[in-house]
């Protein structure tokens, strides 16, 4: 005999009622005509779109990184090493 999936006791829990209200509200919000118009891309087109998006992100990141960061070459000052300090 297979186990029953029906609840064994009735509950007056308000959470169940809230879930049913939310579920019915979501069902009313769904526009069936618009759902039928959704585009499903092939794997190849999805891969191409992902590559384009990654390239665009990389370009934006490099633009932010490279703005006004020109290096200025200055002559280095002579630093005294530990050995030179001991000799003095």
Q: pLDDT tens for residues 67-87? A: 666 667 778 787 777 777 777
Dist CA 41 CA 49 (whole Å): 10
Dist CA 8 CA 21 (whole Å): 23
CA dihedral 76, 77, 81, 84 (to 10 degrees): 140
- pTM score, two decimals? 0.36
Supply the pLDDT for residue 58.
92
Residue carrying structure tokens 């070459």: 73
Q: pLDDT tens for residues 8-61? A: 555 667 888 888 999 988 888 888 888 788 888 899 999 999 999 999 999 988
Supply the pLDDT for residue 10.
59
What ranges do the domains of the chain cover? 39-65
Supply the pLDDT for residue 80.
78
Average pLDDT over residues 1-12: 60
């Amino acid at each position: 005999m297979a186990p029953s999936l029906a609840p064994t006791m009735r509950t007056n829990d308000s959470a169940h009622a809230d879930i049913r209200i939310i579920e019915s509200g979501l069902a009313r919000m769904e526009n069936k005509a618009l759902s039928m118009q959704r585009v499903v891309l092939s794997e190849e087109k999805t891969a191409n779109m992902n590559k384009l998006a990654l390239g665009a992100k990389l370009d934006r990141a490099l633009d932010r990184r490279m703005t006004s960061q020109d290096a200025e070459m200055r002559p280095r000052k002579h630093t005294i090493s530990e050995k030179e300090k001991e000799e003095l």
